[in-house]
Amino acid sequence: MSTGAIEPTWADAQREAFVASRANRVARNAVTSDNVWKAARDVSHMRAYHDTFSVSRPRTGAVTNQRHSGRCWMFSSFNVARAATIDLLDVDDFEFSQTFGMFWDKLEKANMLLENVIARIDRPFDDRELQFVLANGLGDGGYYPGAMNIIRKYGLVPKDAMPETACTKDSSQMNPQLERLARRDAAQLFHMRAAGASVDELRAEKGRMLEGFYRMLAVCLGEPPATFDLEVAVGPKAKVPADKLVEQEGGPAPDPTDKDAKPRRILRDRGITPREFAERYVPFDPTDYVQLVSCPGATRPFGHAYHLCLMDTFVGGTPLRFLNVEPEVIDTAAVASLRAGVPVEMGCDVMQQFPRHIDDFPGVLALDTMDYEGLFDVDLSMGREDLWDLGETAFTHAMTFQGVELDDDGKPVAWRVENSWGKENCKDGYLVMSADWFHLYGGEVCVRREFVPAEVLELWDTLPAEDVMPWSGMGRALAPMS
């Protein structure tokens, strides 16, 4: 009877078979000398993809850079919102402060974490939900609704009103201190409960505890401005109040060949609050969106809505809610948005088939550019349902659709994707993503309601959301993007 152990004779036979193959020897020499990615890439296929798109926004702004932080969801969401500001101001570039967003996101996460602890204060320390909250409640990752909650509650500010700091460029030193403080505060709450404190008394103490989080965040990120002076050069078609415009003194003369040219104008709005800035200069409704995902599977039927428990970040904010639909629905909504000139937040498993650190990698995400099966002579194919069920894929990274190439039937062939890893990465900060790659490893978008098919919008508006835990199949797929 077999014991299930590997027999030495079997291992000897495998070695002999391996070295007898010339392809195996070549693959071994290539990988041991220069690692897997360079040896696996299929140059002929990789070079066949081009950064040309029939539908594309003409002005997208400079490529942003989240640095060594998990803020991709915020960068992607803010990149969608800034498109409206770029059009309003008639400028080629504008960037909101992600540091401002990070400050309020972390503070709100701290409040939610402590609320979740209070809600489970009578459970044992090894309760699975409690341990998950303490381990994951203050991470950098997040979702589009979280960014919209920030805009709705706190507003926005330009990048220069609250610039990047050492801790936003690399959050690895700040985050452990925030997490230590959260666990220390959780311990205090448990001790108070053991001494007979009521929930109201625990919540009152939580309010005092949040002062420590605010102080720590202000030290690491700087204080968020209560007011600031907005001063920015705007284009001739800017749709802003005339009393806020002044001509730039000593500025460049208008182009004499342009009969419509006017002197350069400066928008000045002094003493403005972040919420006033969002109301006046970000013509973008943070409540007007539908969050669609496509995660097939027997336990994840299409046409169902889901709420991801323990991952909401705002007490009283819009909760995380996803509508699971066929991939073609996502394609249709995203294409409609791009045709109207509105960029789209999207989520995917970005590191699949993605040799990011190869110097001459042209930024292509496709199914035929990395030949791992040929390199190793093994079958690595998996169906989409198996990928989700076995945890091989999840929505790990958020980016922004800025364009799409369509076939003769109007269906996507490839997407133009704005990333947030700086302009030095890939092709000037952009990726080319084939439609079949997105169907296999992607499948999440947030789009305005007007771009969603009527029957899908009705489901979004009427279906109750089923609660799913983060360790469930759907929960793993919807892991926070970073």
Indicate the pLDDT class of residue 3, thresholds 50, 70 and 90.
Answer: confident
User: By CB neighbour count within 10 A (0-12 exposed, 13-18 middle, 19+ buried), where does 422 fall?
Assistant: middle
Q: Name the residue among 130, 133, 129 with its Cα closest to residue 112.
A: 133
> For this structure, is 220 an active site residue?
no
Sequential DSSP letters for 345-365: EEEE-TTTT--TT-TT---EE
In the predicted model, is pLDDT for residue 138 greater than 60?
yes
User: By CB neighbour count within 10 A (0-12 exposed, 13-18 middle, 19+ buried), where does 472 fall?
Assistant: middle
Between residues 288 and 255, the one the model is more confident about: 288
Residues 444 and 322 in one domain: yes
Instruction: Output the average pLDDT for the chain.
Output: 95
Res 264: pLDDT:
81
Sequential DSSP letters for 415-474: EEEE-SB-TTSTBTTEEEEEHHHHHHHEEEEEE-GGGS-HHHHHHHHHPPEEEE-TTSHH
Mean pLDDT, range 189-201, rounded to an integer: 98
Phi, psi of 251 (to 5 degrees): -80, 175
Contacts of 162 (CB under 8 A, 6+ apart): 97, 99, 100, 103, 221, 222, 224, 225
Mean pLDDT, range 97-118, rounded to an integer: 98
Contact assessment for residue 215 and residue 143, using Cβ atoms and an 8 Å cutoff: no
Catalytic residue among 79, 111, 397, 426: 397
Indicate the pLDDT class of residue 1, thresholds 50, 70 and 90.
Answer: low
Q: Considering the domain boundaries, does residue 123 fall inside one?
A: yes
Indicate the pLDDT class of residue 254, thresholds 50, 70 and 90.
Answer: low
Catalytic residue among 65, 175, 324, 419: 419
Residues 270 and 142 in one domain: yes
User: By CB neighbour count within 10 A (0-12 exposed, 13-18 middle, 19+ buried), where does 44 fall?
Assistant: exposed
Residues 201 and 303 in one domain: no
In the predicted model, is pLDDT for residue 256 greater than 90?
no
Q: Considering the domain boundaries, does residue 150 fall inside one?
A: yes
Q: Which two tokens stand for residue 301?
A: 């039927």
Residues 301 and 322 in one domain: yes
Res 262: pLDDT:
56
Catalytic residue among 72, 220, 426, 446: 72
Q: Where a domain ends, among 283, 310, 330? A: 283
Residues 252 and 362 in one domain: no
Res 43: pLDDT:
87
Q: Which two tokens stand for residue 218?
A: 């202000």
Q: Considering the domain boundaries, does residue 14 fall inside one?
A: no
Residues 174 and 116 in one domain: yes
Prediction pTM value: 0.95
Residues 308 and 243 in one domain: no
Q: Considering the domain boundaries, does residue 272 fall inside one?
A: yes
Residues 292 and 404 in one domain: yes
CATH number of the domain at 234, please.
3.90.70.10
Q: Considering the domain boundaries, does residue 6 fall inside one?
A: no
Q: Name the residue among 110, 139, 129, 77 with its Cα closest to residue 282.
A: 77
Residues 255 and 295 in one domain: no
Range(s) of the domain holding residue 348: 55-60+288-477
**Cα torsion angle, 219, 221, 222, 226, sign:** negative
Residues 118 and 136 in one domain: yes
Between residues 426 and 304, the one the model is more confident about: 304
Q: Considering the domain boundaries, does residue 438 fall inside one?
A: yes
Looking up tokens 């009521």 gives 198
Q: Considering the domain boundaries, does residue 455 fall inside one?
A: yes
Separation of alpha carbons 72 and 75, rounded Å: 5
Residues 396 and 450 in one domain: yes
> For this structure, is 397 an active site residue?
yes
Q: Which two tokens stand for residue 386?
A: 């198996």
Q: Where a domain ends, among 283, 298, 327? A: 283
Q: Considering the domain boundaries, does residue 278 fall inside one?
A: yes
The identity of residue 117, as a single letter, is: V
The total number of structural domains in the chain stands at 2
Q: Where a domain ends, among 254, 283, 312? A: 283
Q: Name the residue among 438, 446, 427 with its Cα closest to residue 63.
A: 427
Residues 219 and 335 in one domain: no
Res 255: pLDDT:
58
In the predicted model, is pLDDT for residue 2 greater than 80?
no
> For this structure, is 419 an active site residue?
yes
